[in-house]
């Protein structure tokens, strides 16, 4: 804080302390120095908490000047000044021992700390030194020491509890937000209504001759709804200001001899007023703190919920991005697999054509030559006739084997015809080579299927028939190709021994993985299940892709 700011703060605290002290001393109940209305204690504590301990000269000067005109002895004046100066310093020190104490009074613990330490604790310093000063100066005797101390303590405590909260919360609010933007117009209207109704009800209760005397004490409870209203709607500052306003209305009526606090003596009346002011201040401040904590908890919960929603959204976006990347990777992998599969098919096609057109033709020519040689040797009744016949037979067997290999490497019927015709050729060949009945049924116009789908379904059928011939001990194999809406259903069923664990594991080693891979390449699913005859069924279900 700059020097000029410190000077202004000191001057302001001094003047406010002196003015409020003069007001309080007008209601002195013991001599000219002991009063139940002592606002300077609240002003001094608030200034010390806001600015710091450097405010002690202004407080000491204000206490000294306030009591100079009371005609008390110098020793009494010195001890009163010392007590009034030490009181806020001790209070601020004790409150600051709790590092979590906030002058905003927005926590219940802060309000309780102010009540216990500021109202009940530090005020004992001024009450003790002040009563001792009066005793030392001969202003009171030892018999009145206790009542003097109690009155002093109650007055200072009332000042702390009623004045300090209003100054502290007001300072915090104006520091955080300039006054013109503190409230909206609806809030301003509500404040005006609150102030007017509080004033009217306060005047009715505390300035009405008909409501005078302790018998009407319960009427003072009508002020508490205003404390609740202000606490819930305007926080700690609203509660503090309502407590201050209610206290002023009550003291004005009590001093004028009206209101529910009028007792047998002036002392009794002021004590009742003091207790009322303290109760309404405690009620409002604690309720405001509780409500403030609830609002903070709700705000924190909303913030946490928004953060959670944002986190979920971010995670969802990340997952969607990762999912898109994964799908892109899978699509790329499928494309590469399909491309590699096409390359392999092309290679197999070339090898099959070479075997069929090259080696097959040469073997056919050699077989014809062996036939001619056999006929020549037979005509001459040569002994080498039988050897020539064996050569011819071996050449025919080799030619059959080459043609079989060529047919397996690339289905010529699929190239020149359709999937159905290629499957029928496969079934005939499988039946002729194994003796097992093999049937094909197609209820779909398979020309609607693209070449990649037809080729992969054909390879799946090859592998499934091969597995059935090796493992199932079947007597019959059925191949079915049908359509369901915009999907095809392709199945290979046998009536063999069914899904035995060893058979499945054996098939999974290469054949089943190959079939799954080919089904995935064409965007289909492959399932292995029991057939209606108790054997094994390989079922492929996939989309019918539009032909380009």
Contacts of 526 (CB under 8 A, 6+ apart): 460, 515, 516, 519, 538, 539, 540
Evaluate whether residue 313 is within a structural domain: no
Q: Which of 125-134, 385-394, 535-544 has the lowest mean pLDDT?
A: 385-394
Q: 145-176 and 3-25 are packed helices; what angle lies between their axes, rounded to 10 degrees?
A: 140
pLDDT at res. 106? 82
- Give a yes or no: residue 9 inside a domain: yes
Q: How far apart are CA 244 and CA 247, in angstroms?
A: 5
Determine the structural domain holding residue 30 and report its residue range.
Answer: 1-179
Position 412 confidence tier, pLDDT thresholds 50, 70, 90: low
Is 528 within a domain?
Answer: yes
CATH of the domain at 70: 1.10.1760.20
Report the pLDDT value the prediction gives residue 507, as an integer from 0 to 100.
Answer: 45
Q: Say what the pLDDT of residue 93 is.
A: 92
Tell me which of 106-115, 421-430, 506-515 is least confident.
506-515
Mean pLDDT score, 380-404? 72
| Highest mean pLDDT of the ranges 242-256, 340-354, 385-399, 500-514 | 242-256
pLDDT digits (tens, 9 = 90+) for 166-177: 898 888 877 765
pLDDT at 345: 63
Is residue 58 in a domain?
A: yes
Element (H, E) at 493: strand 487-494
CA dist 87 and 48 (Å) reads: 10
Range with the largest mean pLDDT of 23-32, 113-122, 414-423: 113-122
Lowest model confidence (mean pLDDT) among 33-42, 266-275, 343-352: 343-352
pLDDT digits 0-9 by tens, 434-470: 888 999 998 877 667 888 888 888 889 988 888 888 8
Whether the predicted pLDDT of 388 surpasses 80: no
pLDDT at position 200 over 60: yes
End of a domain among 144, 179, 214?
Answer: 179
Instruction: Tell whether 460 is covered by a domain.
Output: yes
Q: pLDDT for 317-373, tens place per residue?
A: 999 999 988 988 888 877 777 777 677 766 666 666 556 556 666 666 777 777 777
- As given in the structure block, the two tokens for residue 225 are 């709804």
Instruction: Report pLDDT for 539.
Output: 94
In a domain, 113, yes or no: yes
- One-character DSSP codes across 156-212: HHHHHHHHHHHHHHHHHHHHHS-GGGTS-HHHHHHHHHHHHHHHHHHHHHHS-GGG-
Q: How far apart are CA 360 and CA 341, in angstroms?
A: 26
Q: Domain ends where: 160, 179, 198? A: 179
Average pLDDT over residues 126-134: 91
- Which range has the worst mean pLDDT, 52-66, 72-86, 191-205, 408-422? 408-422
Domain boundary residue, one of 179, 200, 235: 179
- Report the pLDDT value the prediction gives residue 233, as an integer from 0 to 100: 87
Q: With respect to residue 308, please indicate whether it lies within any of the assigned structural domains.
A: no
| Residue 214, domain member (yes or no) | no
Confidence of residue 548 (pLDDT cuts 50, 70, 90): low
More confident residue, 283 or 346: 283
pLDDT for 417 beyond 90: no
Residue 327: what pLDDT? 86
Domain count, the chain: 2
């Amino acid at each position: 804080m700059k020097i000029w700011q410190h000077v202004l703060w000191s001057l302001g605290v001094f003047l406010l302390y002196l003015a409020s002290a003069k007001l309080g001393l007008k209601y002195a109940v013991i001599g000219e120095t002991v009063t139940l209305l002592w606002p300077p204690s609240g002003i001094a504590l608030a200034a010390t908490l806001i600015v710091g301990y450097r405010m002690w000269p202004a407080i000491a000067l204000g206490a000294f000047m306030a009591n100079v005109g009371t005609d008390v002895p110098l020793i009494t004046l010195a001890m009163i000044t010392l007590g009034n100066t030490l009181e806020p310093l001790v209070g601020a020190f004790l409150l600051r021992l709790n590092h979590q104490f906030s002058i905003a009074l927005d926590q219940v613990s802060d309000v309780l700390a102010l009540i216990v330490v500021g109202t009940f604790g530090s005020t004992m310093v001024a009450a003790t030194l002040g009563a001792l000063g009066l005793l030392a100066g001969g202003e009171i005797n030892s018999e009145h020491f206790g009542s003097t101390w109690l009155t002093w303590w109650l007055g200072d405590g009332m000042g702390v509890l009623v004045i300090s909260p209003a100054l502290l919360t007001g300072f915090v609010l104006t520091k955080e937000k300039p006054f013109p933007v503190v409230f909206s117009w609806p809030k301003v209207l509500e404040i005006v209504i609150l102030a007017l109704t509080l004033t009217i009800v306060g005047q009715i209760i505390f300035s009405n001759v008909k409501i005078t005397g302790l018998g009407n004490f319960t009427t003072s409870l009508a002020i508490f709804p205003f404390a609740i209203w202000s606490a819930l709607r305007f926080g700690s500052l609203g509660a503090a200001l309502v407590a201050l306003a209610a206290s002023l209305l009550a003291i004005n009526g009590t001093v004028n001899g009206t209101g529910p606090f009028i007792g047998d003596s002036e002392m009794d009346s002021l004590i009742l007023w003091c207790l009322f002011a303290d109760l309404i201040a405690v009620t409002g401040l604690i309720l405001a703190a509780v409500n403030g904590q609830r609002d903070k908890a709700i705000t924190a919960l909303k913030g946490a919920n928004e953060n959670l929603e944002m986190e979920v959204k971010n995670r969802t976006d990340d997952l969607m991005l990762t999912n898109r990347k994964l799908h892109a990777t899978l699509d790329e992998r499928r494309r590469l697999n399909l491309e590699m599969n096409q390359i392999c098919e092309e290679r197999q096609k070339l090898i099959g054509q070479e075997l069929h057109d090259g080696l097959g033709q040469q073997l056919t020519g050699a077989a014809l030559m062996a036939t001619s040689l056999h006929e020549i040797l037979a005509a001459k009744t040569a002994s080498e006739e039988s050897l020539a016949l064996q050569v011819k037979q071996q050449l025919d067997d080799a030619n059959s084997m080459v043609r079989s290999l060529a047919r397996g490497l690339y289905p010529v019927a699929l190239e020149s015809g359709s999937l159905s015709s290629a499957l029928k050729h496969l079934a005939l060949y499988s039946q002729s080579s194994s003796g097992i009945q093999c049937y094909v049924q197609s209820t779909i116009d398979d020309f609607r299927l693209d070449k990649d789908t037809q080729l992969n379904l054909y390879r799946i059928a090859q592998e499934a028939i091969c597995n059935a011939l090796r493992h199932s001990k079947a007597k019959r194999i059925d191949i079915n190709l049908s359509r369901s809406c915009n999907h095809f259903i392709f199945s290979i069923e046998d009536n063999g021994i069914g899904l035995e664990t060893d058979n499945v594991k054996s098939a999974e080693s290469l054949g089943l993985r190959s079939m799954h891979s080919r089904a995935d390449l064409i965007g289909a699913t492959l399932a292995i299940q029991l057939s209606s005859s108790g054997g094994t069924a390989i079922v492929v279900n996939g989309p019918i892709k539009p032909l380009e």
